[in-house]
Amino acid sequence: MFPDFQDKLISGYFELSGDDMNYRFAFSILLFSMATSVAAQSGLCPDYLNHDMKKLHSEQGLNICKAYGGKPLLIVNTASHCGYTPQFSGLEKLHKQYKDKGLVVLGFSSNDFDQEAKTDKEIANVCFINYGVTFDMFATGHVSGASANPLFKELATQTTEPAWNFNKYLVDTEGKVVKYFDSSVTPDSDAMKQAIEQLLSH
């Protein structure tokens, strides 16, 4: 559609005169440019990130492509009653340290390993009050097996699915997982910081 439209514009398809022609021609060029720009931007964000997902303890949803398309991501599956739950503190520090450099930290609550609180309110208290989390957290959902959400299915295809809570996936601007860290690797580890800084330097 757009190439044909562009050809018609170039070949003088609008056989009008005076100001009327100028306004319509300029408006058509503007529409074409906007459509092309939107198409180009949407192509930067992979389909598996292009979903509306409910935020934790909120009626609001968030589409990662719309909110953070073209930015590197650190994606983590979380639980509030796990031995690794204190990693929230380290993740928040990473968020504060690297957010101005473009890194987006995203937490996905899950009870796949029977370690999550029963209500959104309790989960939110652990995340937002106990650990002072300010990065985006998503409502409880599945991150492993056949019921995993599309995002975690793709992460599993590229690397491995979570075997426990607090698996960490470092994703580049094109949606490719460049580094996977299991639960035992803490957010403040040298390995994680080096991987983040290497990704941000590209």
Among all residues, which ones are annotated catalytic? 82
Cβ neighbourhood burial of 57 (10 Å; 0-12, 13-18, 19+): middle
Collapsed DSSP state (helix, strand, coil) of residue 85: coil
b vs e for 5-37, b when ≥16 Cβ sit within 10 Å of the residue's Cβ? eeeeeeeeeeeeeeeeeeeeeeebeeeeeeeee
- Angle made by CA atoms 72, 77, 80, in degrees to the nearest 5: 130
Order of strands, edge to edge, in the sheet holding 177-181? 136-138, 104-109, 73-78, 168-171, 177-181
For residues 202 and 197, give the distance between their C-alpha atoms in angstroms, rounded to a whole number.
9
**Is residue 110 within 8 Å of residue 116, measured between CB atoms?**
yes
Q: Which two tokens stand for residue 50?
A: 């292009």
11-16 contact pairs (CB < 8 A, 24+) = none
Question: 108: which DSSP letter?
Answer: E
